[in-house]
Structure 1
Amino acid sequence: MNETVIKVENLYKEYRLGIIGHGTLCRDLQSWWAKLRGREDPNALITSQGEIKKKNLKDHILALDNVSFQINKNDLLGIIGSNGAGKSTLLKILSEITFPTRGEIKIKGRIASILEVGTGFHSDLTGRENIYLKGTILGMRKKEIDRKINDIIAFAEIEKFIDTPAKRYSSGMYVRLAFSVAAHLDAEILLIDEVLAVGDNNFQKKCLKKMEELTREERTIIFVSHNMNTISSLCNKGIYLKDGEVQMISTPSECIKKYINEGKNSDRPDNYIFSGPLISKIHFNEICINSREGVKNPVIRPEEDIKITLQGECLEDIEDFKFSLSIFKDDIKVLTMQDVKEPQKLIKGSFLSEFVLGKYLFRPGVYTITVEGNGRDKKAWISGKDIESFTIAEEYCQQFKRENQGIINIPDCGKRRYI
């Protein structure tokens, strides 16, 4: 039976907007008198029964709204959501940096956290002194920290600066030391906010590998990130937060799918967003992936071919024109295709451009599509970035074996002959 290490029930976090306090002496006295008598605050947004007072909505905001979930030992939980969804607030409450307005949290085990850059460090202490400080806070003895300090410093790769005051560290050095300390000291639960985005690419990979190792050592990790591919490949459980509410608790791939679909539907309710001088002459009616009209971020199985169709209207002839379609993964351009070999006239009227890619080409993950069009005149162009996306399902197949782990996988492209 899986052991529950974190259980959150009916969690609310309320913040007042504007100035500190209620803004009037009368309301401050009302709140003080109610608290003194053990009564409910008449100016609070949430009642003791968890109901929201509509009249106070203008003065307050719910950063977390009735959040409930539980995490088992060894789980690697990924939390996703747009900015302001409540992800960082949730981690701060779990870290006891701030306290909830209402709700109950049960935690079994010691917690180490990496939140905002510099959080948990004393700027006047050296890196070495901060390591001992963090270990002491976790309840470790000096001898225990002594045994691990060399590994911590080596992992952080800041040996040269370890006896320098932390206030002289760059943001990247802060993150390196913070992660190394949290990962090597004896904490059963590790909370990581988006600070890893500050580090360089090689150190990020090193951290992700270390996180995988920690889960095998029976540690529990909660990881907040905007990198969907990292969440998908690293985590075994996902939570999607929106406006402080839990929208989904499921597998990472399902949470990512719902997040991307809702984001696209809200950002572009009717039309695709393009820029450039030709937006008044070229209108796109439908950008379809594998004939799934209206389906945002379709999930494609590895054995399926991928057919991307651009359908629209051209309001006047455009000389020497061609469409280019680029596919990205994690902001890295994977490939680019054109609808014609040589530029040719785009004739006034309806047009249909098709791009076909073979099966087993892409490895599992989320991919985005950017469309561009260029005419003879350098000023004649149109561009739409990240206008669509698709997900390659995480299904094992022979073509995805270890020897085929590039950004793309091209099966059966080699030949052998004997001479």
Structure 2
Amino acid sequence: MQFKHLGKLCLVFMVCVTGFFSCNDERFIPIEDDGAAPGPVYDVRVENLAGGAKISYALPDDKNLLYIKAVYTLKSGQVESKASYLTNNIVLEGFGDEAEREVTLYAVSRSEKLSAPIKVNIKPLQAPVFTVFESLGINETFGGIVVDFENPTAVSGSVNSNMVIGTLRWDEQLKEWVQIDTYYSGLTKDQFAVRGLDSKPYKFGIFIKDRWDNHSDTLETELTPIYEEEIDKKKFKDIRTKYAVPQVGALPISGNRMVEGVDYSTAYPIPNLWDGNVANFFHTKSGFELPIWIPFDLGVSVKLSRYKIWQRAVAGGYFSHGNPHEWEIWGTNTPENPNSWVIIAHQEMIKPSGLPVGQNSADDRTIGAAGQEYNFNIDAPAVRYLAWKHIDNWASIRGEFGFLHVNELSLWGQPAK
């Protein structure tokens, strides 16, 4: 009886094994076989674009048509682009020169059968990588250089608009270029700074590269960064309640006087703002009428160049809750005179992704964790006393009431000697 069952099991096993090897011998083919290949596209029209082309066409009348395929050559070799049968055009990108070239179009069925090829010539306009290069402006700034550029063909939110701007420094000892910074941007107009350099002449080189590895030439220039140093935070002091709060700029909607932002509790005092620890944070009480005034003493008069703030990574992430959204920074050397304060910076924080509050992209999180840097007005006077004028936070954009929390604040400039 047992041998009979064993024999049946062996037979089942042999059938399974046979089936397994039979399946392995089969080729992977489309699930459908829809018969003949579709007809080709027709009435083809070309619109040459910056670094690419838009090819429009009429579709063949075939219910089994799935997509249109374009085959062409880029710097990296032969590539393909596809467009659904639901549209009548295909956009090609990534060309690094303006030479005329051939593109082959195929209509493709659901069973991957190709139509007869249709060949069309395109002649891309100047690639964006070179347009950006031609727009470059480079100037010295505090502790480094500042680079301006424009990318008029950029499409907001499109990865294809992204440019890599590389900054090089000539190393006299090595007798070669050394890359010291890489900046990424998909904006139509942008600016970035390269910092941390001594105040001495440097030979700089700037180049542009796109996602298809098209490169510009290198723009060479010699500049001398303006001297700056990080301001010693050990000299900072809280001066809230010591002087009268001036009434400057926009005031509370209610008409009440602007007030100072006092600490939420002893756990989050204002010295956390400058203790050098980006994990601690300063937190004001909640429910203040906005704006609120937060003055402090630098301990020395400074011609300020730039500052950097670190947001608090609350439950909603960066760019949320009491993190600053819009603010001003005011300065004076005579805080006892309420009329002596002058505005030296005004900023509205921009969220890189543009996503709603509470939703953060990887870039949002990276930038929030690294801290964000801003410049003071270039013509601002040297001042000893500063005041952060908190206009609104991310949880209360344009709101009447709010609060503020910030992990850390660092300042750079030229201290008075």
Shorter-chain TM-score bucket reads under 0.3
Please give the TM-score of this superposition, normalised by the length of structure 1.
Answer: 0.25
Greater fraction of residues in strand:
2
Please give the TM-score of this superposition, normalised by the length of structure 2.
Answer: 0.25
Structure (1 or 2) with the larger CA radius of gyration? 2
